[in-house]
Structure 1
Amino acid sequence: MTMIRRLVCSALRLRSDRSGLALLEFAIVFPALLTLSLTGAEITNFITTKMQVSQLALMLADNAARMGIGSPLAAKTISEVDINEIFIGANLQSGSLDLRTNGRVILSDIEQDPANAGKFQIKWQRCYGLKTAHGSTYGTAPSSNLAGVGPAGRQVTAQDNNATMFVEVYYVYKPLVSASLVPSTTLTEIASMAVRERRDLSTIVKPTGVVASTC
């Protein structure tokens, strides 16, 4: 009886003992808490990266629309040096994203098609970045007789005697934790800008020794 009484007393004390309860509860909820925290961090990083890639595309289009040299009285000329400098600047702006290593930029010059009234052409393209397996989604140069360039319903065109700079930025996302926590590991952003000032559309100057960023 003494042994049974001791066992009963021990059981009663154990039932009323609350020491270590918080630790036990934490151990139960910790895996779920950790999963939620890591998922939140991954999604936040993905959204931030997508915004940065979108801003890079817009910056590239804007800079391409402004490039060229010449006096206010004459049409600006552009050279392969101007295009290369725009790409290098975008890579510097990308910072830790390292656009050159992890991405591919496709810059397209869109002009009116002289052979087809009301239609447009991709007159030339230049590319940058080591993800060379990714090509343009919207056409390659030279292409002609186009209704426009870009996604259906959002195609861009060019004004009379002018050009539009159309940019595609493809980027391979580097996950913090796991690729399974984000919608996709590849990002594609587009942007376009009409050329600001008069530009000589006939040719791109290629100085001696300069390598063109051809696609």
Structure 2
Amino acid sequence: MRKLISSMPAHLRRLRKDNGAVALVEFALSLPLLLLMGLGGVETANYAVTHMRVAQIAVSLADNASRAKQDVASGMPRMREADVNEAFTAAELQAANLDIAENGRLILSSLEVNADGGQWIHWQRCFGDAPYISSYGVQGDGATGTSVTGMGPADRRVAAESGFAVMFAEVVYDYQPIIFGSLIPDDPIRKIAAMYVRDDRDLSNIFNPSPAAPVRSC
């Protein structure tokens, strides 16, 4: 034991001069930081891509709803509850692994002009389990008077023209983090889109002929 103790200074001097595996030690020390930066980059990129996908879903929902109609031989084409449901189904399929039915809310509104010349949310339908409502009004808002001037943010509000309707789509999505949820804001992703109805449409109602389709009220 005494011999071992007496040789310790020599061993320590040799260890101090030994530079073998320095790179490996430095890599081991920096690995946690590299992993944090790399995985954080993956999370941030996924968040940005999800924003883009939700925006595309909003555009597609408004576009599909603006084209949907049932031709009627004795009158103008009609918008049916079945057409609304098909537009929601298409949006759900487009969302794919986002699972927007469970983690989001799709809100589709028909913005029209009332008898007084004001803007009117004639009907509104929703899809998805997330507990969100429209940020710009609910069904029946603006039925009379001119207090409602349209839908959307104040700096880019959308208004319908007399005799026509605008399909206004809102998509609200609760982002599902991959790794580091703490890096991402808690606020839901919100995107909007609006499309004028492409052709003439009977705006007197949203129809539900037999066999009746489920009504996805908000």
- TM-score where L is the length of structure 2: 0.90
Q: Percent identity?
A: 40
Q: Does residue 1:183 correspond to 2:182, yes or no?
A: no
CA RMSD of aligned residues (A): 2.1
- Aligned equivalent of 1:137: 135
Q: Does residue 1:211 correspond to 2:214, yes or no?
A: yes
- Deviation readout 1:14-41 (Å, 9 max, x if unpaired): 2221112122101211111111011101
- TM-score where L is the length of structure 1: 0.91
Q: Secondary structure at the match of 1:204?
A: strand
- Aligned equivalent of 2:27: 26
- Aligned equivalent of 2:11: 10
1:173 to 165, 168, 175: 175
- Aligned equivalent of 2:95: 94
Q: Unaligned stretches of 5+ in structure 2?
A: none
Q: Secondary structure at the match of 2:154?
A: coil
- Aligned positions, number: 211
- Going from structure 1 to structure 2, the CA distance change for 1:190 and 1:18 (only over 3 Å counts) comes to same
User: How far apart are the structure 1 equivalents of 2:5 and 2:66?
Assistant: 91
Q: Secondary structure at the match of 1:142?
A: coil
CA shift for structure 1 position 203:
1.3
2:196 to 184, 194, 197: 194
**Is the contact made by 1:74 and 1:198 (CA closer than 8 Å) also made in structure 2?**
no
- Deviation readout 1:142-178 (Å, 9 max, x if unpaired): 0113111111111100122100010110111110112
**Is the contact made by 2:72 and 2:78 (CA closer than 8 Å) also made in structure 1?**
no
User: How far apart are the structure 1 equivalents of 2:93 and 2:105?
Assistant: 14
- Deviation readout 1:77-129 (Å, 9 max, x if unpaired): 111111111111111111111111111111010011212x3x21111101111
2:150 to 148, 151, 169: 148
Q: Unaligned stretches of 5+ in structure 1?
A: none
